[in-house]
């Protein structure tokens, strides 16, 4: 008879309002991983905007219901099946179309698992597979940048934005960072300067001072990174160097991305877009993707990438956490699923 | 019209010629003046004497006179960026053109609204001498714009679909015809109007596969599979919906902004379908050509299509230089037919 363990998991059985359709349930997970499979004890996983979209059924790829929530996270191997390339205690994450992170345990095939360096802090490891690779790909794959070149971005305070700042520092690029104005703006600026931002402006400040500022720098930015859309996309793309590129990775404002006709026609800028999940799954990008993950992990181990500020919560607090994520005013919510120091987890088995 | 003035103390002879000049930026009908000037009759080394035959009034010409166009000639300047003329004589060391050749400007801001001028050899470019006037006078901008946009951004194959707004423009009509010639399908967006049926008929006669109104585009009822290329000269909402029609990996090329609105693009197609937005500016394309071959090849192909009637003639309102106020006012206010100066 097959042995099972019980796991609590956040599951949705239909698409809809995440506050309503997401439920904490207890499920049975096989205690015996099959050939080239592992039993994973999940440690931490954030609530990303992507999760919200998926639960609402608004994401380009719809999963087959019911679905265990989550889009990235970190777990630990507690048992390995025969022929598995992993060993007990390995830190892992999933990179696959199906990403059931919001559960205490699951069985995952080796093919879908990526090994994470155990030296990477837990909160950073839990958010390593989407934002830092997005930043890495955008900085590496669209424009050939030299040391000292400028990169401009909006949404500089987002997960991707912070990774961009930190990677610009590593690669020797100068980052120009636009954020929305807010009550504690000076504090935010200080924080972004601390992680390596060269210049930080609010949208309003940049509108007023961009002409003067752009005259003060040697060359205009060759790359603009856009996670916002609307007029903000226009603002950062209009100051690009001739034949520069604007790469879009999100549309937080929910408004269409705007670009001036003259930037496209007379200044020959290019507008591109990237969704890291799709990019990574393209056959021709496979080697590059593996290289990217490798580099991102090295930067994380070296302390050159840091975790974004997150609020740690338990899965039982999901309603409150989802509400905060939907409102978008709070910092990112991170589910702490199993204690990372627990070595007694095998006792459940 | 060509008066030869003999100057007693000089071997050099001068000719009087008329030209439309602006001395400062302003409202084009007022800023432009008809002036007579004397020019040397014999081209110096590296120069050619060109007798201009016909030149249109384009929107870019008007913008240039208003001072809002990126190419700003030194003032005072002769108006007009397009047109064609005939080489009357050449100076020493001129190799790329000879007497009798038909030529068009080789750069923006040359000034074509004039009868006779001396130009540097490198400022003119030879075209097919047998090309009728209606084609030759507007050969430099619109047909090549359509041609390049269809060739340079996406490797289109027979049966692929191209969508465009502003399909009724001169570029739009060339896009329709070149698509037909090369075997691409064209979906054409126009604004609704009283005589819509007539316009649809006209565009279908040119080879349009589909003609839809802007409202139909926004209604999204019709589906168009296999759209690889979108051509946008409107911007705003029209560009938003145009971009939404693109297939995976497709490209929207912007070459104008008639609505004066920014180009809009939705997030989904941009990040999940890997579409790209580009821009095209004919002047820049000309500027970055290091050798004449690509331009010659394009001109040859276009000229063949024109001489065989596969590309139809544009219709014009003909004007003399004396009628410049009326011609320029009409160009500003009436957009149905292009205003042309006959300079001969």
> Does A253 contact B at CB distance below 8 Å?
no
Q: In this model, does residue B10 exceed pLDDT 70?
A: no
The DSSP letter of residue B114 is: B
Q: List pLDDT tens digits, range B303-316.
A: 999 999 999 999 99
Q: Give the whole-number percent of chain B exceeding pLDDT 70.
A: 97
Q: List pLDDT tens digits, range A165-210.
A: 999 999 999 999 999 999 999 999 999 999 999 999 999 999 999 9
ipTM value: 0.90
pLDDT for the residue A348: 44
Mean pLDDT of chain B: 94
The CATH homologous superfamily for domain A131-278 is: NAD(P)-binding Rossmann-like Domain (3.40.50.720)
Residue B242 and residue B194 share a domain: yes
> Does A284 contact B at CB distance below 8 Å?
no
Point out the residue among A251, A261, A270 whose CB comes nearest to the CB of B267.
Answer: A251
Region A90-114: what's the mean pLDDT?
Answer: 95
pLDDT for the residue B99: 97
Q: List pLDDT tens digits, range A248-257.
A: 999 999 999 9
Point out which residues pair with A113 in neighbouring strands.
A94
Residues of A in contact with B254 (CB under 8 A): 261, 264-265
Q: How far is CA A219 from CA A145, A148, A240, B124, in A?
A: 12, 9, 9, 34
pLDDT band at A340 (very low <50, low <70, confident <90, very high): low
Q: Which two tokens stand for residue A181?
A: 């104005």
> Does B250 contact A at CB distance below 8 Å?
no
Q: List pLDDT tens digits, range B233-258.
A: 999 999 999 999 999 999 999 999 99
Q: Which residues contact B82 (CB under 8 A, 6 or more apart)?
A: B55, B56, B58, B61, B104, B105, B112, B137, B138, B139, B140, B141
* Tally of CB atoms within 10 A around A191: 15
B283, closest residue in chain A (CA to CA) = A266
Q: In this model, does residue A245 exceed pLDDT 70?
A: yes
CA distance B267 to A62: 17
Q: In this model, does residue B23 exceed pLDDT 60?
A: yes
CA distance B83 to A84: 74
Residue B277 and residue B156 share a domain: yes
> Can B69 be counted among the known catalytic residues?
yes
Mean pLDDT of chain A: 94
Point out the residue among B266, B270, B280 whose CB comes nearest to the CB of A265.
Answer: B280
Query: From the candidates B22, B69, B147, B299, which is the catalytic residue?
Result: B69
> Does B271 contact A at CB distance below 8 Å?
yes
CA distance B138 to B132: 11
Q: Write down the domain spans for chain A.
A: 4-127+309-348, 131-278
| Domain assignment of residue B67, given as a range | 3-138+314-342
Contact B279 A273 (CB under 8 A): no
Residues of B in contact with A277 (CB under 8 A): none
Last residue of a domain, one of B283, B302, B329: B283
Region A84-106: what's the mean pLDDT?
Answer: 95
pLDDT band at B114 (very low <50, low <70, confident <90, very high): very high
Contact A271 B270 (CB under 8 A): yes
Region A226-233: what's the mean pLDDT?
Answer: 97
Contact A265 B279 (CB under 8 A): yes
Q: In this model, does residue A279 exceed pLDDT 80?
A: yes
A228, closest residue in chain B (CA to CA) = B267
For chain B, the domain total comes to 2
Contact B279 A263 (CB under 8 A): yes
Region of A57 please: left (phi>0), alpha (psi -120 to 50) or beta: left
Q: How far is CA A241 from the centre of its chain?
A: 28
Q: Which residues of B131-166 are buried (b: 16+ CB within 10 A; e: fewer)?
A: bebbbbbbbbbbbbbbbbbbeebbebeeebbbbbbb
Q: List pLDDT tens digits, range A291-336.
A: 999 999 999 999 999 999 999 999 999 999 999 999 877 899 999 9
Q: List pLDDT tens digits, range A44-69.
A: 999 998 899 899 998 877 788 999 99
* Tally of CB atoms within 10 A around B248: 11
The CATH number of whichever domain residue B25 belongs to comes to 3.90.180.10
Residue B74 and residue B38 share a domain: yes
Residue B183 and residue B119 share a domain: no
Residues of A in contact with B257 (CB under 8 A): 261-262, 265
Q: Do domains A4-127+309-348 and A131-278 have the same CATH topology?
A: no
Residue B133 and residue B7 share a domain: yes
CATH, domain A4-127+309-348, list 3.20.20.70, 3.90.180.10, 3.60.150.10, 3.40.50.620: 3.90.180.10
């Amino acid at each position: 008879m097959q042995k099972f363990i019980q796991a609590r998991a956040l599951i949705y059985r239909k698409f809809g309002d995440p506050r309503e359709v997401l439920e904490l349930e207890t499920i049975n997970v096989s205690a015996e991983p099959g050939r080239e499979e592992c039993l994973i004890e999940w440690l931490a996983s954030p609530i990303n905007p992507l999760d919200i979209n998926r639960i609402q059924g608004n994401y380009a790829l719809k999963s087959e219901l019911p679905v265990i929530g989550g889009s990235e996270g970190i777990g630990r191997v507690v048992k390995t099946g025969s022929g598995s390339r992993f060993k007990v205690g390995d830190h892992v994450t999933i990179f696959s179309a199906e990403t059931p992170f919001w559960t205490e345990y699951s069985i995952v095939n080796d093919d879908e698992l990526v090994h994470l360096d155990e030296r990477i802090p837990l909160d950073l490891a839990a958010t390593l597979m989407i934002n830092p690779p997005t930043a890495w790909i955008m900085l590496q794959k669209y424009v050939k940048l030299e040391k000292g070149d400028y990169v401009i971005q909006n949404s500089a305070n987002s997960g991707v934005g912070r990774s961009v700042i930190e990677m610009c520092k590593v690669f020797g690029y100068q980052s120009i960072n636009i954020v929305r104005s807010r009550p504690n703006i000076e504090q935010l600026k200080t924080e972004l300067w601390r992680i390596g931002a060269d210049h930080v402006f609010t949208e309003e400040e940049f509108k007023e001072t961009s002409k003067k500022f752009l005259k003060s720098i040697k060359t205009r930015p060759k790359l603009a990174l856009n996670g916002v859309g609307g007029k903000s996309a226009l603002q950062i793309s209009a100051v690009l160097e001739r034949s520069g590129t604007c790469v879009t990775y999100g549309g937080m404002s929910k408004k269409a991305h705007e670009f001036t006709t003259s930037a496209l026609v007379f200044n020959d800028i290019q507008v591109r877009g990237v969704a890291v999940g799709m990019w990574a799954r393209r056959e021709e990008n496979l080697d590059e993707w593996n290289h990217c993950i490798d580099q991102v992990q090295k930067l994380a181990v070296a302390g050159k990438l840091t975790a974004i500020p997150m609020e740690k919560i338990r899965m039982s607090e999901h309603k409150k956490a989802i509400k905060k994520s939907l409102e978008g005013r709070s910092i990112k919510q991170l589910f702490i699923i199993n204690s990372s120091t627990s070595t007694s987890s095998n006792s459940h088995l | 019209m060509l008066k030869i003035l003999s100057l007693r103390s000089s071997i050099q002879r001068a000719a009087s010629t008329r030209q439309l000049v602006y001395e400062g930026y302003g409202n084009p009908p007022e800023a432009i003046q008809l002036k007579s000037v004397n020019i040397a009759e014999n081209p110096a080394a590296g120069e050619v004497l060109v007798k201009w035959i016909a030149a249109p009034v384009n929107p870019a010409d008007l913008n240039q006179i208003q001072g809002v166009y990126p190419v700003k000639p030194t003032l005072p300047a002769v108006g007009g960026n397009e047109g064609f003329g005939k080489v009357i004589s050449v100076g020493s060391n001129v190799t790329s053109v000879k007497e009798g050749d038909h030529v068009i400007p080789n750069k923006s801001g040359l000034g074509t609204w004039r009868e006779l001028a001396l130009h540097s050899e490198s400022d003119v470019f030879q075209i097919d001498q047998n090309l009728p006037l209606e084609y030759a006078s507007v050969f430099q901008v619109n047909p090549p714009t359509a041609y390049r946009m269809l060739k340079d951004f996406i490797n289109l194959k027979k049966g692929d679909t191209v969508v465009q707004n502003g399909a009724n423009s001169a570029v739009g009509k060339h896009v329709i015809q070149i698509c037909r010639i090369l075997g691409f399908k064209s979906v054409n967006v126009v604004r609704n109007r009283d005589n819509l049926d007539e316009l649809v008929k006209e565009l279908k006669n040119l080879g349009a596969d589909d003609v839809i109104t802007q409202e139909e585009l926004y209604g999204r009822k019709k589906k168009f599979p296999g759209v690889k290329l979108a051509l946008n000269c409107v911007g705003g909402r029209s560009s938003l919906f145009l971009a939404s029609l693109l297939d995976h990996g497709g490209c929207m090329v912007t070459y104008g902004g008639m609505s004066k609105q920014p180009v809009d693009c939705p997030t989904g197609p941009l990040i999940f379908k890997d579409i790209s937005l580009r821009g095209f500016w004919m002047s820049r394309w000309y500027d970055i050509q290091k050798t004449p071959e690509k331009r010659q090849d394009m001109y040859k192909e276009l000229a063949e299509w024109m001489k065989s009637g596969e590309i139809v003639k544009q219709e014009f309102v003909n004007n003399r230089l004396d009628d410049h106020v009326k011609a320029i006012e009409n160009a500003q206010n009436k957009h149905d037919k292009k205003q042309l100066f006959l300079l001969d």
